[in-house]
Structure 1
Amino acid sequence: MGKTALFWPSKNPVLSIPITLALGFTAGLFVDTSSLGNFILICTFLMIYPTMIGVKLKEAFDFSHAKVVGISLIINFLLIPLLAWGLGTTFLSGDPSMMAGLAIAGLLPTSGMTISWTMMFKGNVPAAIKMTALSLIIGSILAPFYLLIMVGKYVPIDLMKTFTTIAVIVFLPLVLGHVTFLQLKKKYSQEHFQKVIKPYLPAVSFWAMLAIIFASISMKSKMVLARPDLLGGILLALAVFYLINFTLSTVIARLFLNRADGVALIYGTVMRNLSIALGLAITAFGPQAALVVTLAFILQVQAAAWYGKMADRFGFFGKTPSDSLAVKQA
């Protein structure tokens, strides 16, 4: 029973994620959950740490995977900003603050979930680690200038806070994951690790992801309900944004990359760092910009789960490896 409960969310994300979203949204309407924000960074660490156990440190820091990482940077810092700007001017031009919210979401790529989703669907985790670290650094440097061009306002980003975030969600879990793996190797064979221990890691990571989803949506549920008149236009713009993003990255991945790199590219370009984006939106552009980012979070996590299910079912990247812990077909 306990094992079934542990594995059920990660094996059924298209159900577990909307259930968590509904529970978090409802809780936020009746209870002040703002204190949960203090635990999001901790939960992010707990989400990433299991994915790092077994990852080779050398692969995370060398110059391998240059092709997929290079493609991700082109998509993240050229194609996606253009897409966000185009959709903003098309759907949200009547409200500059909402357009700014979409721009911010489009300018800050990758999050801790990039690495977790890549592992869950058997992608190239070392490449995802490189994408996450590089994209956060480059995005933090370029985003203020992109915002100046796109919405006419320069918004500085705290680089030290960004570096701290990278250290907590990437480098610290990577080092501790390596130490954990070395300790496990002293007690167990590689075969035992692969067959017995490793299957538990995505399940543990996914529970931490659900905690982040619950906390994030519960803190913003009242904001979503406060402006129901704006929801239609924002949701339409975001739906088109993610649909084009997924489609573009999938086509490029199929044309130029193998399956593992393709999965990493998808989750390294579609997943946006909405935690940082939300902070910028609230402080620089106000509640309507923040509403755009909040709704993006709802669509993003659900779309990531459905994409993984569809990719396996329809063979977007060929046959899933036999030991995959990807989503079971319904």
Structure 2
Amino acid sequence: MGKKMLFWPSKNPVLSIPIALCLGFAAGLWVDTRFLSDFILICTFLMIYPTMIGLNLKESFDFSHAKVVGVSLVINFLLIPLLAWGLGKAFLVSDPTMMAGLAIAGLLPTSGMTISWTMMFKGNVPAAVKMTALSLVIGSLLAPFYLLLMVGKYVHVDLMKTFITIAIVVFLPLILGHLTFKQILSHYGREHFQKVIKPYLPAVSFWAMLAVIFSSISMKSKAVLAQPQLIGGILIALVVFYIINFTLSTLATRLFFNYSDGVALIYGTVMRNLSIALGLAITAFGPQAALVVTLAFILQVQAAAWFGKLAERYKLIGRKQTDSILAEEN
């Protein structure tokens, strides 16, 4: 029974994520959950750490996977910002602050969930690690200038805080995961790791993801209900944003990549760093910009789960995907 409960969320993300969203939303309406903000970074670390156990440390820092990482950078820093700007002009031009919120969401790619989703759907985790680290650094450097061009306001980004975040959610789990893996090999051997320990890692990571989702949405539920008249237009813009984003990334995988690289590319471009984006939105543009980012968070995690399941069922990802490849990966 305990094992079944441990594995159920990761095996049923299209159900477990809405449950976490609904519970978090309800909790936020009845209880002041701002204290949970102190635990989000810890839960993010716990979400990433299991995905790093068994990862090739050298491969995460070399120049392999240059093609898929390069394409992700083009999508993240050229196509997606243009998409966010265009949708803002089309749907949110009446309120520049909401347009700014969409722009911020589009300018900061990848999050800790990029790595977790890539592992969950058997993608190229080392490539996802590179995308996450590079995109966060480049996004933090470019975002102030992109915002100046898109909404006419220069917004300072705390680079030191960004680098600390990268260290905690990427590099620290990577190093500890490598050390943990070496200890497992010395005590139990590779075969025991592959057959007994490794199957539990995605399940543990997913529980930590649900904790992040619950905590994040609970702190934002009152803000969502406070401005119901604005939600319709924002949701339309965001739904179109994510549909086009998924479509662009999926087409790129069909043209250029195999399944493993394709999974990394999709979750390295569709997943936006909405935690950093929310902080920028509320401090630089106010609550209406923050509302856009909040609603993006709700859509993003649900869309990631649904797309992964649909992609598995209909073989949407990768030009070389075949039944034999999937059988080997599974």
TM-score range, shorter chain: over 0.9
Deviation at 1:187, TM superposition (A): 1.9
| SS in structure 1 at match of 2:32 | coil
Give the match for residue 251 of structure 2: 251
Deviation at 1:274, TM superposition (A): 0.1
Give the match for residue 194 of structure 1: 194
Q: Deviations over 1:22-44 (max 9, x none)?
A: 00000000100000001000000
Deviation at 1:323, TM superposition (A): 6.6
Deviation at 1:160, TM superposition (A): 0.4
Q: Hey, what's the Cα distance between the residues in 2 that align with 1:160 and 1:280?
A: 14
Give the match for residue 136 of structure 1: 136
Deviation at 1:324, TM superposition (A): 5.5
5 Å matches for 1:1-330?
A: 1-317=1-317, 318=321, 319=323, 321-322=326-327
Question: 1:50 is matched by which residue type in structure 2?
Answer: P
Q: Hey, what's the Cα distance between the residues in 2 that align with 1:280 and 1:268?
A: 21
Question: 1:61 is matched by which residue type in structure 2?
Answer: F
Q: Hey, what's the Cα distance between the residues in 1 that align with 2:5 and 2:293?
A: 31
Q: Deviations over 1:168-199 (max 9, x none)?
A: 00000000000000000012232221121111
Deviation at 1:254, TM superposition (A): 1.1
CA contact (8 A) 1:121 1:324 kept: no
TM-score if structure 1 supplies the norm length? 0.97
Change (3 A) 1:62 1:9: same
Change (3 A) 1:139 1:70: same
Unaligned residue ranges in structure 2 (runs of 5+): none
Instruction: Please tell me the root mean square deviation across aligned C-alpha atoms, in Å.
Output: 0.9
Q: Hey, what's the Cα distance between the residues in 2 that align with 1:28 and 1:260?
A: 37
Q: Hey, what's the Cα distance between the residues in 2 that align with 1:323 and 1:242?
A: 31
Unaligned residue ranges in structure 1 (runs of 5+): 326-330
Q: Hey, what's the Cα distance between the residues in 2 that align with 1:266 and 1:321?
A: 17
| SS in structure 1 at match of 2:220 | helix
Deviation at 1:244, TM superposition (A): 0.2
Q: Deviations over 1:225-244 (max 9, x none)?
A: 00111111000000000000
Q: Hey, what's the Cα distance between the residues in 2 that align with 1:288 and 1:124?
A: 37
Question: 2:236 is matched by which residue type in structure 1?
Answer: L
| SS in structure 2 at match of 1:57 | coil
* Runs of 4 or more consecutive aligned structure 1 residues displaced over 6 Å after TM superposition: none
Q: Hey, what's the Cα distance between the residues in 2 that align with 1:16 and 1:292?
A: 24
Q: Hey, what's the Cα distance between the residues in 1 that align with 2:245 and 2:84?
A: 10
Identity score, percent = 79
